[in-house]
Amino acid sequence: MEREKTVSSHNSIAASLSDYLKALPLYLLPQHFLSRLMYRLTRCPLRLWKEWQIRWFIQHYGVDMTEARESDQTRYEDFNQFFTRELREGVRPIAESPDALICPVDGAVSQVGSVDGGTMIQAKGRHYTLQALLANDDALADVFHGGSFINLYLSPRDYHRIHMPLSGKLTRMCYEPGRLFAVNPHTARVVPELFARNERVINLFETEAGPMALIMVGAIFVGGMETFWAGPITPRTSRREPQTWTYEGSAVVLQKGEEIGRFNMGSTVILLFGPNAVQWTGDLQTGTGVRMGEAIGMIFKRR
């Protein structure tokens, strides 16, 4: 299938002076304060305020409201309810092949490939380590060493709910505090180990393809990340410290395509699989547009 190019392949070119100039203010801004402020502003129910926000956003980003379950923009209680809107049933069909690995989100491919030597590509000339991404958990990093990864970038106009790429059982969830740099192509080219430095939620599953990590990466103005089994994980109202929840023997079993969480404002999802578990489809490359439910790979081994 011919995939749409929704963003330019900026991650495949070297960083420029312009990239550094655009990223520099992010080091100076109070990232968490601004994100908490955005959290409040996007949940303000005042009618004139929220309707102006929604109307401006739809026009500026070209949001297709015909796909939404609630297409009347005035019926949303606040901007965040609009931003995390549900889609109409059938708008994102799930790939039918039982061996298909489906895309968990709407967005675009940032990078895709293999975990070579414990590192992954962030952008041309920049890499980040598997160990740092997984909060320096050596045992967990060993599980995915030599495996496969894909980074999926969600732009503001995209659908912001996250779904299961494969059927599986939740085993662990980890919150790792960090910075809140933007995750656009400019910052990916200039901020070292961007995805391993930002705040993130690491969700670990046992699937029919073996272990899978689905990592929700926070960014500036991402006013919250949440999962359906734990509710809101960020923003943290108390001190930001690492936290782990274990679900051994739990009943959190999810089918392919089921909703698992959402971004309250946009960011990035990273998928990790172990060695010889999945094979990405050949047409995936930096900048390739993807939609939730379509096949982005195939399972090598069934369990």
Q: Which residue in 10, 160, 163, 186 is the catalytic one?
A: 163
Token pair recorded at residue 130: 């598997």
Task: Tell me, yes or no, if 250 is annotated catalytic.
Answer: no
Q: What's the CA gap between 230 and 245, in Å, rounded?
A: 9
Task: Tell me, yes or no, if 155 is annotated catalytic.
Answer: no
Q: Are strands 107-114 and 289-290 parallel, antiparallel or unpaired?
A: antiparallel
| Residue 141 near residue 272 (C-beta atoms within 8 A) | no
Closest CA to 292 of 201, 166, 159, 184: 159
Question: How buried is residue 237: exposed, middle or buried, by Cβ count under 10 Å (0-12/13-18/19+)?
Answer: exposed
Q: Which residue in 32, 106, 148, 158 is the catalytic one?
A: 106
Q: Concatenated DSSP letters for the chain?
A: -PPPB-S--GGGS---HHHHHHHHHHHHS-HHHHHHHHHHHTT---HHHHHHHHHHHHHHHT--GGGBSS--GGG-SSHHHHHTPPBPTTSSPPP--TTEEEPSSSEEEEEEEE-BTTEEEEETTEEEEHHHHTTT-HHHHHHHTT-EEEEEEPPTTS--EEE-SS-EEEEEEEEE--B----SHHHHHHSTTHHHHB-EEEEEEEETTEEEEEEEEP-TT--EEEETTTEEEES-SS----EEEE-TT---EE-TT-EEEEEES--EEEEEE-TTSEEE-TT--TTBEE-TTSEEEEES---
Task: Tell me, yes or no, if 9 is annotated catalytic.
Answer: no
Q: Active-site residues: which are they?
A: 106, 163, 267
